[in-house]
Amino acid sequence: MTAQRSRLAGTRRWVVKVGSSLVTAKGAGLDHVAIADWCEQLADLRRAGVQVVLVSSGAVAEGMARLGLRKRPSALNELQAAAAVGQMGLVRAYEAEFARHGLRAAQVLMTHDDVSDRGRYLNAQATLNALLEFGVVPVVNENDTVSTDEIRLGDNDTLAALTVNLVQADVLVILTDQDGLFEADPRQHPDAALVSEAELSDERLGGMAGDSKGELGRGGMRTKLNAAHTAARSGAATIIAHGRLPKVLTRLRGAERLGTLLSPAQGVMAARKRWIAGQLQVRGRLVLDDGAVRVLQEQGRSLLPVGVRSVAGEFSRGELVACVDASGREVARGLCNYGAEEARRICGVKSAELEACLGGPAEPEMIHRDNLVVTVPAA
């Protein structure tokens, strides 16, 4: 048992995500036996004093089975129809199984708007916290029935990580159909070694995570790694483990060496900065020179226009942009004080020359440090 694993026994709030490949019975609707088993394990965690939030895929897959569809719909309206039909069966299954253990469940559906708007974000946070204090198990899913590409969160790995930030969970558990993160894709490299533990600051992790995903789901191992980084912003550890292992959740809390444990390398971000970093959609990109990258990573100062080499994308003032180095690697993100057109005009311009360049009053910072989050600290 390692020190990182042993800390799991003392944690008090978990977010558990179950993927489509686990929830479904090989395309024939929901696997009710598996759902019953996870609900029993979650009930065991509740009896041990752990508050749990469940993020479950499966609505679209269940809807496909009910509608007799053999292939995931590509048309948005058909996908949303399948989700609407499938949500009925998904929620009914969880409600019935939790009731067997004397627990109440609540359905919580969210879109990106619910976490990108500050007021709605705080309301969702308050609602989830109230449910947990009532002893209820929230069952969270993306609201596929009304989501469009512009407000789609994208996959339930991302949703689970954002939920971690919302409820300040200690642990994110991602249950999947793989044993964890391997040093290489085990389907192509059968001798690849499982990564038992790692810090998220380890740059080698990105090369280990592939983009493979199943027909029923949207996420691959790379999205799980991205989710772990998001969860780490509120200090949470992430475990990726096989959901079909017997008593997997109980054994994980007992510090058994299952799956991959990814530990945060940074401290807990302030709530506003977590919201900026994890809950908003990136609308554009600023390419920085080496000096600006060092200033952001090492000194935590504001980003000035003089350090920006180029601007990509179309965005308005106050929208989120990613800050990348010359190689395209993201190092920070923040709320830009300028729209894309103005930002392009002042790239490389010194602060004293901004008003003359724009022909009027100007903000000295491209992104103020209060609205900026460093996503990759200095090595």
Give me the pLDDT at residue 261, please.
94
Least confident of 142-151, 323-332, 358-367: 142-151
Longest dimension (CA), the chain: 70
Per-residue model confidence (pLDDT) at position 242: 95
The arithmetic mean of pLDDT across residues 262-275, rounded, is: 73
Return the pLDDT at 147.
54
Bridging pattern class, strands 320-324 and 284-288:
parallel
Residue 143 predicted with pLDDT over 80: no
| pLDDT in the model for residue 219 | 45
Q: What is the rounded average pLDDT of the residues 261-290?
A: 81
Q: What angle do CA 265, 329, 316 make, to 5 degrees?
A: 105
- Comparing 140 with 168, which gets the higher pLDDT? 140
pLDDT at 114 over 80: no
Mean pLDDT rounded to a whole number for the chain: 86
CB atoms within 10 A of CB 345: 15
Domain with CATH 3.40.1160.10 in the chain: 3-273
- Residue 360: the pLDDT is 86
The confidence score (pLDDT) of residue 209 equals: 67
Burial 89-105 (b: 16+ CB within 10 A, else e): bbbebbbebbeeeebeb
Judged by average pLDDT, the poorest of 125-129, 136-140, 182-186 is 182-186
- How confident is the model at residue 267, as a pLDDT? 62
In the prediction, which pLDDT does 211 show?
52
Is the pLDDT at 136 greater than 80? The verdict is yes
- Taking alpha carbons only, the member of 210, 174, 172 closest to residue 189 is 210
Q: How far, rounded to the nearest angstrom, does the alpha carbon of residue 28 sit from its chain's CA centroid? A: 28
Between 181 and 6, name the one with better pLDDT.
181
Q: What is the pLDDT of residue 145?
A: 63
Confidence of residue 59 (pLDDT cuts 50, 70, 90): confident
pLDDT of residue 220: 72
Predicted pLDDT at 318:
84
| pLDDT above 50 for 153 | no
Q: Which has more confidence, 115 or 54? A: 54
Please write the tens of the pLDDT for every residue from 192-235: 899 999 988 887 887 776 554 444 344 478 889 889 988 888 88
Q: What percent of the chain has pLDDT over 90?
A: 49
Supply the pLDDT for residue 216: 39
Q: Can you give the pLDDT at residue 187?
A: 76
Sheet arrangement for strand 308-313:
308-313, 284-288, 320-324, 330-335, 372-374
Kindly tell me if the per-residue pLDDT of 266 is higher than 80: no
Q: Which helix (H) or strand (E) holds 16?
A: strand 13-18
H/E run at residue 331: strand 330-335
Domain 282-374: CATH superfamily is: PUA domain (2.30.130.10)
- pLDDT tens per residue across span 299-344: 989 999 999 999 999 998 888 999 999 999 999 999 999 999 999 9
The whole-angstrom separation of Cα 49 and Cα 51 is: 7
| Residue 152 banded pLDDT, cuts 50, 70, 90 | very low
Assign a CATH topology to domain 3-273.
Carbamate kinase (3.40.1160)
**Pure H helices in 256-330:** 271-279, 290-294
The whole-number pLDDT of residue 70 equals 83
DSSP string over 213-256: --SS-S--HHHHHHHHHHHHTTT-EEEEEETTSTTHHHHHHTT-
pLDDT band at 138 (very low <50, low <70, confident <90, very high): very high
* Residue 7, pLDDT above cutoff 70: yes
Structure tokens at 376: 């990759």
Helices (H) and strands (E) in the chain, counts: 15, 13
Helix (H) or strand (E) holding 63: helix 59-67
Task: Report pLDDT for 110.
Answer: 86
pTM: 0.73
The predicted structure's pLDDT at residue 377: 76
pLDDT at 150: 38
Q: Which residue has the higher pLDDT, 326 or 264?
A: 326
